[in-house]
Amino acid sequence: MARLSTVIWGALSLLGSAFGYANPGACSGTCTNTHDPSIIRRSSDGTYFRFSTGGKIAVHTAPALTGPWTYKGAALPSGSSIDLDGNQDLWAPDVALVGSTYYLYYSVSTFGSQDSAIGVATSSSLDVGTWTDLGSTGIRSSSGKPYNAIDPNLVQDGSTYLLTFGSFWRDIYQVPMASPPKAVASGSSGAYNVAYDSVKTDEEGAFVYKNGAYYYLFYSKGQCCGYDASKPAAGGEYKIMVCRSSSATGGYVDAAGKACTSSGGTVVLESHGNVYGPGGQGVYNDPTHGPVLYYHYVDTTIGYADGQKRFGWNTINFSSGWPVV
């Protein structure tokens, strides 16, 4: 079955190469300046919330995934209590519902620095004005560590919570969290590596999503930012990759069976048409559209600046055992 799954995935990939990727789904309202989006739907009233980098975590809401998206304010208007440079310019939010409480994980850092930390805030409703900053989760990096403590993502594996994170250096790591997941689990042996490209260490933005028997590790690879000042060589811009494992804690491999910790990785979505540098992704099982891959991207007809990045989404199909846009 594993071999058949790989063959089917290969056939679908060839079709994707021949006919191109689907364009992003419809988006109305405020769809620009949406870097590293995190999407969640409040079940009590069906309101969609979109959290994104900048503006002390910008919050937008909409009645549907397609919009219209409306700006509501900052999730953490006073910034973070973490005593690090960058605590007023928070990055890469990740929002999850645990029990009846919403958890907002965020990064405190400055561009190119390894002096970074991951913080967390909680809310009972998701609304602006209701978030309480709890400060550091205990995940912090500095010069000499093998990882950078940014780009957090929470996944629940049975009764265990795991936080996947990391950027460049030795790429992507994971660590067990306490229950409730406000901090690293007591007695944890520390973070372990789940994805690493030894040739080009440019992997970040991990997101773990379970579908069927597998956990899928989605991540971004390539240059994320500054395209208006310095575009990378063709193919060096952001793209969305994936590996999978039957365990949330690792053993992730790509569609060819190559380990994600040994430079493995399969492309899910890359530049095409007017879409350039898609990344900063997540996956959400939408009640209307089914599983969707959401991300930010540059629309080349609008502009390449970081503030011009747009919110994108596509449905994804797992029928081959691998996600296909």
Q: What angle do CA 243, 246, 247 make, to 5 degrees?
A: 95
How would you list the strands of the sheet with 132-141, edge to edge? 91-98, 101-108, 116-123, 132-141
User: How would you class 86 by CB atoms within 10 Å of its CB: exposed for 0-12, middle for 13-18, buried for 19 or more?
Assistant: buried
Measure CA of the first residue to CA of the last residue in the chain; give whole Å.
22
Question: What secondary structure letter does DSSP report for 197?
Answer: -
Task: Tell me if residue 128 falls in helix, strand or coil.
Answer: coil
Distance CA 52, CA 305 (A): 16
Element (H, E) at 321: none
8 A C-beta contact, residue 66 and residue 89: no
Task: Tell me if residue 100 falls in helix, strand or coil.
Answer: coil
Distance CA 312, CA 285 (A): 15
Tokens 């999850």 -> residue: 96
| Active site (catalytic) residues | 36, 204
Distance CA 277, CA 258 (A): 24
8 A C-beta contact, residue 298 and residue 309: yes
Q: What angle do CA 52, 147, 79 make, to 5 degrees?
A: 35
Task: Tell me if residue 6 falls in helix, strand or coil.
Answer: helix
8 A C-beta contact, residue 137 and residue 183: yes
Q: In this structure, what token pair is assigned to residue 50? A: 């979109």
In 10 A of CB 316, how many CB atoms? 23
